[in-house]
Structure 1
Amino acid sequence: MLERWFWESGQKREAEMLGKMDRQVNKLTSLISDLLDVTKISSGKLEFNEEVFDFNKLIEETTEEISRISSQHEIVLELSSTCYINGDKERIGQVITNLVNNAIKYSPNADKIIISSKKEKGKICFNVKDFGIGVPADKLEKIFDQFYRIKNNNYHLSGLGLGLFISSEIITRQGGCIWVEPNIKEPGSTFYFSMPCNN
């Protein structure tokens, strides 16, 4: 709100500084949250508050929030028929956020990412397709390891390599699967996870 006031009043320098401070605070908050989650995972205290919810609605709500703070990438939604799933809505939303933010971060020269969902054989499958630096074939199995990060000499990418590890734990501990595949015809990667439908 204050940042917007600075922009509207013509104080560009102050608005940019405030925006930068806000982004740094968000990064620090996210880092602390990730470290707390890793501690809970290591000690077996990661808990889930299960409820039945509309999966596609969660995707729409989560990506709408991300779109507000990411102006560089268009988030394209290609959602098929939805299903209700029984799981921790907040935690699964956290996974969606992690995967989408990862797609944005690792495709700095792209202008869009594609988010899809598809219901089949009693499961709902979510995927995020980016057009970025991709995941080397020999690193596909390591990508969800704790503290693992893809190295690229052309870009400086922040982070500790915890988001995908935490996402994997959240999904697999609720009976789902998570994986990544390289794009065939374009650069980049597609991250997937699936969860059992409740209906």
Structure 2
Amino acid sequence: MPDDFSKEVLASLIDAEALYDQAPCGYLSFSADGTVLKINQTLLTWLGYRADEVIFQKNFSEFLSKGGQIHYEMFFRPMLNVSGTVKELSYELAKRDGTTFHVLFSAVAIRNAQNAILAVNAIITDNTHRKHYEREILKAKKLAEEEKRTFQFLADLIPEMIWTADAAGEIDYINERFIHYFALPDKVFSVNRILTKIQPDDRKRFIASWAESLLSVNDLHIELQLQNSSGQYEWHAVKAVPYLNEGRELVKWFGSCTNIDVHKRALKQKDEFISIASHELKTPITSLMGALQLLDRMKNDPSPKMLPSLIERANKNVKKVNTLVGDLLNVSQLNAGQLHLNKARFKLGPMIFNCCEHILAEGRFEILIEGDDSLEAFADQTRIEQVVINFINNAVKYAPASKQIFIAYTAGQGFAKISVADKGPGIPKDKLQHLFDRYYRVDSAGSQYSGLGLGLYICAEIIQRHSGEIGVDSQLGEGSTFWFTLPCSS
């Protein structure tokens, strides 16, 4: 030790009283009954008092809130008596101006020879910032819970199935749509349980894709068939997206299952329709080309014997192509909302007779027409003729052995009803509801008839645009009756 420094000099460097008064925490000493004996300047500053206003003038409990006073009497004093110390009790202290602040209160008892408490030394730490932090944490937790409930509420409203999984891929949340679709009363759905709901042919693809996503932490996108609560398989687009924290660590997976069954079936139906349309158009065009080639070879023959039959064949096939193309154009107009109607009043009797002329000219069928010749309708006559001709052609096509076609037109309350009936084989009940669907083609007695499956669909659209009704009544072995109604006035 240098000679310049003596023990007295070193001792003078430490001012114990100054350290006590200016400490960053509050110091307090009080008697067994709570009378304040000593208090440092830090605590006085916090409370807003002078030393002479507190020392031997106030009881420590006076600085406590009512709840704090009860706790002080019922818990603090008994605890101090038993253990002699208390650590970090949370209290609110009242300032001179009436405001309060949070503190952590620790105390040690000073006892006499008989072990009775003479005084208490206490350390008081301002806990305001910590309390504020705790409140913010609680507020943030409450907000997170509210947002979680909001997410679940929104997830339950949307039509898609929503699910989440932990980093290992184990499902930990499913929305109400998910529960309803798979009929899960226990609301528990693990990956293993999912596998039993996947169409067997799609199961291996899903397992491989999900394993790859878990390993690579990449999005999952796959289309597969899921079995609903009724036991039917429907196409779904299954997606899963990984959620990473700020450290780029995988925390959770967010997933959805969107029902795309209607879309997938529509695409399949479209592909089938394109195939059917190509075949239906190719057949008459091939026949027409053959007839034209024969006509070309016979153009220098002065007396071609086959000319009339070739011309007839060519005309027949041209009409068939024209009908097919006309159906395609009509559907295109319907889809684009461009099927315009030119409505006017006209008599139904003459219109129906005109629709029968092409069948009557062939002489193969007898058409029996019954109705009130004065009955009129307010509609687009050309479009209604299209409907009636379609009904008559279907009777010829699907009931060739009937030989008789019955047409009736009757008056109702503000509307006219037109029906076309045959005595053919009839139509099974399970097919009646689909007859007016787009692309639907009837398979009668195992024989697939030609056509695009658009005729009756177009008829239904025409009648609906006239604010009328369309339908069919049929009994197997007895025949079928197709009918529609039209308004009689504008």
Q: Compute the TM-score of the two structures, normalised by the length of structure 1.
A: 0.86
Q: 2: distance between equivalents of 1:39 and 1:143? A: 19
2:489 corresponds to which residue?
198
Provide closer, same or farther for how the CA distance between residues 154 and 108 of structure 1 changes in structure 2, counting only shifts above 3 A. Answer: farther
Q: 2: distance between equivalents of 1:172 and 1:20? A: 36
Counterparts of residues 49-198 of structure 1 (less than 5 Å): 49-68=342-361, 70-183=362-475, 187-198=478-489
List structure 1 segments (4+ residues) > 3 angstroms apart after TM superposition. 10-14, 153-156
Q: 2: distance between equivalents of 1:136 and 1:29? A: 31
Contact 1:82–1:118 under 8 Å retained in 2:
no
1:16 corresponds to which residue?
309
Contact 2:415–2:486 under 8 Å retained in 1:
yes
Q: How many Å apart are 1:121 and its aligned residue?
A: 1.8
Q: CA RMSD in A?
A: 2.1
Contact 2:416–2:486 under 8 Å retained in 1:
yes
Q: How many Å apart are 1:153 and its aligned residue?
A: 4.4
Q: 2: distance between equivalents of 1:126 and 1:135? A: 20
Structure 2 gaps of 5+ residues are 1-302
Provide closer, same or farther for how the CA distance between residues 80 and 146 of structure 1 changes in structure 2, counting only shifts above 3 A. Answer: same
Q: 1: distance between equivalents of 2:305 and 2:422? A: 32
> Which secondary structure state, in structure 2, belongs to the residue aligned with residue 165 of structure 1?
helix
Q: How many Å apart are 1:64 and its aligned residue?
A: 2.4
> Which secondary structure state, in structure 2, belongs to the residue aligned with residue 147 of structure 1?
coil
> Which secondary structure state, in structure 2, belongs to the residue aligned with residue 121 of structure 1?
coil
> Which secondary structure state, in structure 2, belongs to the residue aligned with residue 116 of structure 1?
strand
Q: How many Å apart are 1:61 and its aligned residue?
A: 1.9
2:131 corresponds to which residue?
none
Q: 2: distance between equivalents of 1:79 and 1:12? A: 46
Q: 1: distance between equivalents of 2:318 and 2:422? A: 26
Q: Deviations over 1:93-147 (max 9, x none)?
A: 1111111111111112221111111112222111011122322111111100011
The amino acid that maps onto 1:79 is G
Contact 1:183–1:190 under 8 Å retained in 2:
no
Q: 1: distance between equivalents of 2:482 and 2:374? A: 19
Greater RCO structure (CA 8 Å; 6+ sep): 1
1:26 corresponds to which residue?
319
Q: Deviations over 1:38-59 (max 9, x none)?
A: 0011111111111111122211
Provide closer, same or farther for how the CA distance between residues 39 and 18 of structure 1 changes in structure 2, counting only shifts above 3 A. Answer: same
The number of residues matched between the two structures is: 188
> Which secondary structure state, in structure 2, belongs to the residue aligned with residue 143 of structure 1?
coil
Q: How many Å apart are 1:149 and its aligned residue?
A: 0.9
2:242 corresponds to which residue?
none
Task: Find the structure with the greater CA-based Rg.
Answer: 2
Contact 1:117–1:125 under 8 Å retained in 2:
yes
Contact 2:439–2:453 under 8 Å retained in 1:
yes
Contact 1:66–1:97 under 8 Å retained in 2:
no
The amino acid that maps onto 2:483 is Y
Q: 1: distance between equivalents of 2:432 and 2:462? A: 19
Contact 1:122–1:196 under 8 Å retained in 2:
yes
Structure 1 gaps of 5+ residues are 1-9
